[in-house]
Copies of this chain bind each other. A is one copy, B any other.
Amino acid sequence: MGGQEIEQLIRLLGRLPGFGPRSARRVALYLLREPHTRLAPLARAMERAGEAIRTCSSCGNLDTSDPCHICSDPLRDKGLVCVVETVGDLWALERAGVHRGVYQVLGGTLSPLAGVGPEDLNVSALLTRLHEGSVREVILALGATVEGASTMHWLMDRLETYEGLTISRVAQGVPMGGALDVLDDGTLAAALGARRPA
């Protein structure tokens, strides 16, 4: 529709999560109708975010600094580590404001079918901190899915070797088959508050 530059834009928009051809065209038209006030600022914001983005080498969060603003915050409890699957889960918990410790982002779950094994999960920083003896409690905040459960059991096997370490898991409030980052703040607070020994 109207030149290869426009078609390319629609094609790339159509690959975004939640997009189909129709919404890609709608967003492209919305942007192209006001190229200076809509399209250019968004393109600029993308470029800047792309240049600024860093993966936190400590927890795996996406931020504009490494270590991220959570890991480098002296007020956060470094002895309390919350393990999540994705950065989206971390952001959801931060928005809810229910966790005063730090995080470990696994970057996924164990999934033999999808070819995701233990070596693909980001746990080395957590194990390093455990070896140093600076961690008091690990909260497993994984989704209530088959993959989340098998990942949790695999992690518990590894964590149980650390003497004196409390291992807990979010329990109440995470609906079956649900992912954490679609829950409302209250549910997240309840799930975290009612955590129990794993």
Question: Which A residues form the contact surface with B (CB < 8 A)?
Answer: 1-6, 8-9, 12-13, 15-18, 22-23, 25-33, 35-36, 38-53, 61-65, 68-69, 86-88, 91, 94-95, 182
Contacts and interface: CB of A to CB of B under 8 A. Distances in A.
A64 B2 contact: yes
Nearest to A47: B43
A49 B9 contact: yes
A9 B94 contact: no
Nearest to A42: B12
The copy count of this chain in the complex is: 2
B62 A2 contact: yes
Contacts of A50: 31-32, 35-36, 39-40, 43
B65 A3 contact: yes
A48 B39 CA distance: 10
Contact of A25 (B41, B51, B91): B91
A61 B189 CA distance: 51
A31 B43 CA distance: 12
28 contacts: A1-B94, A2-B61, A2-B62, A3-B63, A3-B64, A4-B64, A5-B49, A5-B53, A6-B53, A6-B63, A8-B45, A8-B49, A9-B46, A9-B49, A12-B41, A12-B42, A12-B45, A18-B26, A25-B88, A28-B49, A29-B88, A29-B91, A31-B46, A31-B50, A32-B49, A33-B87, A36-B50, A43-B47
